[in-house]
Structure 1
Amino acid sequence: MDFPVYVVLPGSGVGLRFGSPTPKQYTDVLNKPLFLYTVQAFHRFPWVHTIVVVVSLDDIPWVEEQLKKNNLTRVRVVAGADTRHRSIYNGVKALRKVCTGDAVILIHDIVRVLAEESVVKDVATAAKQHGAAGITRPLTSTVIAKDNEGFLSESLDRTKYVASEMPQGFHFEIINTAYEKASEYDFEFGTECLHLASKYTGTRVRLVEGPDSLWKVTYRKDLFAAEGILRENLSSIFIEEGKNQRENIISSFTEGNLKVSSEKSPSCSESGFVFFLSPPRLEPDIASKIDNISVIMNKITSHQYEKCSGCPCNDSISESTKKEDCGCYTNTDETEVMVCSKCSFLTKKTIVLLHEINKSCRRTVVENTRERLLGARLPDNVFMSVIVYHKDSNLQRVGRLSVSLLKNQDPGMNGQVLYVQ
């Protein structure tokens, strides 16, 4: 992207359809408030200049605290209003000092946790070229209209209509002008930002067809889907190379809908890791492997407070702050704090160490491995389990167990040694 993008995330609603005293945007999913996933989805893009989170006035201190804990620094929090459009307008107004003319603003629901980079770029680029753009999806159900007495009055031709989704993008001047001219009726009952841009500025809105992953939390049951979608879409699994068992494990992961990382070495972009130990292995080898894994995990999780060298905005960072060992920029008084743009969305990381053994030494190996695991110096958010097996074991069972451990990220399995016959 050769131009900066600004994002407004309206999130001051109470979610009446959600059916809970806790607004859906603040409900915990995988040990984090839902809204943080959406903020992080945009924060990982270095070309997003500022994100404005719009919440209820009383919630601002708590929301700011959550953002600070997660090192989300390019975010402003502003107070919302009593309707969706008034809240969005408050977010737009908060950008007046940094946005002018054709600067691109994206508007996205705070409970739409997925923001694929290709989709966001498509909308931002179309908005830059045409003034306004939005994502659409084909209708999957026929839309009908009813009369005042509750009887069918009209059936719409599904081929002529599409569903409007998020994100939507605008030139700052266009969306700001649309809200300046909007009527009280628009603010009270309107839902569609693209319609306001077209109605009050005459802008021809470019529509971009999006993927079927465009989805948001509306009802409580959606939280279960959210957890699964976050696990499957927002991270990938690193699998150590050069091992004969690797292809069998990859096959199991494909069946289990886990993405396998293309990286050649472990990085902070993954939430799960698979390492191998093959026979003959003695106690010192087990200790050395676990120690090496601990060193790797401590290094890659330290990126939370660093600015990766791949970011285009690194030009403004002093060379004196560069760390030679990993090519990242650390937080100093002179540098801007930024979450590593490569980091996995999921705060927990799970390791599965697959340990092939000679069948005759099962008991000794299991005991030694468990002892070494208990002494592992892993970061608090990293869990490690060991699956012990031998060459006659059922490798499909080993693979399925690995998938379960990596998907569930259960802290109760940390330090456990599991044996597969």
Structure 2
Amino acid sequence: MNQKNIIIVAGGKGLRMGADLPKQFIPIGGKPILMHTINAFYEYDKHINIVLVLPESHQDYWKELCRKYKFNIAHQIATGGETRFHSVKNGLAFINEGLVGVQDGVRPFGSKEMIARCFDAAQQYQAAIPVIDSTDSLREMTGAERSKIIDRSKIRLVQTPQVFSVEILKKAYQTDYTETFTDDASVVEAIGINIHLVRGETTNIKVTTPLDLKIGEFIVNSSL
């Protein structure tokens, strides 16, 4: 069986949250969001290699939180870079073989079943990401005050974890950074690899606003 690895990127400053505390450290259900995220992957596979990417300025605080909450799931810490691209690249330096997922630190509610779908699909297709359908109508801006409808049946909303063979992801991250790289799939696609889509979850939210916090509390309480 391939070694499974997960890079959890947690470099957010919480600006949209309007909080002094970086959003990955804000408590939901009695413990910081980031601990929920790490725990989701530990519950999926007790032997998964976890690499947490944090800004250097946040690392001591994270270690204090781990002591405070008696959080002892084993993980390595890599130092965040200038952008998410550079942070993932730094995390990859800790990984040598198998499959590697990349996860938003503030996306804490992915189920074991969804994580398994992503890793299983990556085992078969080498690159797999979870997506959900759009339930809203969509419009594309064609000018300053003009727009046109988009066929939402052709649109998928992308989530994480995005899972790849380590060899492919490391090769992709040798590419020079551009602003068109909005996620890991876009980096891998740039070297000509097809991205396989798997079924995501509507509860697999990214916690970025105060409303998301309220939704997150509801999800945690509903699962108790």
TM-score higher than 0.5: yes
Which runs of 5 or more structure 2 residues have no equivalent in the other structure?
none
**Max Rg structure:** 1
Query: 1:28 deviation in Å?
Result: 2.0
- Structure 2 partner of 1:155: 149
Could you tell me which residue of structure 1 aligns to residue 177 of structure 2?
A: 184
Number of matched pairs: 223
1-side partners of 2:198 and 2:182: how far apart?
Answer: 19
Percent of aligned pairs with the same amino acid: 24
**1:309-348 superposed matches below 5 A:** none
Distance 1:125 1:217 in 2: 26
Q: Using the TM superposition, give the Cα deviation of residue 48 of structure 1 relative to its aligned residue in structure 2, in angstroms.
A: 4.0
Judge conservation of contact 2:24–2:33 (CA < 8 Å) in 1: yes
Runs of 4+ in 1 over 6 A off after TM superposition: none
Q: 1:93 is matched with which residue?
A: 93
The alpha carbon displacement at 1:47 in A equals 4.7
Offset at residue 15 of structure 1 (A): 2.8
Cα contact 1:4–1:47 (8 A) shared by 2: no
Partner of 2:22: 23
1:344 equivalent in structure 2: none
Task: Show the counterpart of 2:75.
Answer: 75
Match of 2:111 in 1: 116
1:174 partner SS: helix
The gaps in structure 1 that reach 5 residues or longer are 236-421
If asked which structure has higher relative contact order (CA below 8 Å, sep 6+), I would say 2
For the Cα contact (< 8 Å) 1:27–1:33, is it kept in 2?
yes
Amino acid corresponding to residue 171 of structure 1 in structure 2: S
Aligned equivalents of 2:31 and 2:71: distance in 1?
A: 14
Contact 2:44 2:116 (8 Å CA) reproduced: no
Equivalent AA in structure 1 for residue 81 of structure 2: A
Amino acid at match of 1:185: T
2:197 matches 1:199: no
Q: What is the rounded CA distance, in whole Å, between the counterparts of 2:158 and 2:108 in structure 1?
A: 17
Q: Name 2:39's counterpart in structure 1.
A: 40
The TM-score with structure 1 as length reference comes to 0.50
Please state how far the C-alpha of 1:160 moved relative to its aligned partner.
1.2
Please give the alpha-carbon distance, in whole angstroms, between the structure 2 residues aligned to 1:117 and 1:170. 18
Give the counterpart of 2:203 among 199, 213, 230.
Answer: 213
Q: Distance in 2 between matches of 1:150 and 1:226?
A: 36
The whole-number CA distance in structure 1 between the counterparts of 2:206 and 2:59 is 22
* Residues 67 and 73, structure 1, Cα contact 8 Å, conserved in 2: no
8 Å CA contact retained: 1:60, 1:78: no
Aligned counterparts of 2:25 and 2:62: Cα–Cα separation in 1 = 9
Structure 1 residues 184 and 4: CA distance shift in structure 2, 3 A = closer
Counterpart mapping for 1:361-400 below 5 A: none
How far off is 1:54 after superposition? 0.9
- Deviation, 1:66, is 2.8
Matching residue within 141, 145, 150 for 2:140: 145
SS of the aligned residue for 1:66 comes to: helix
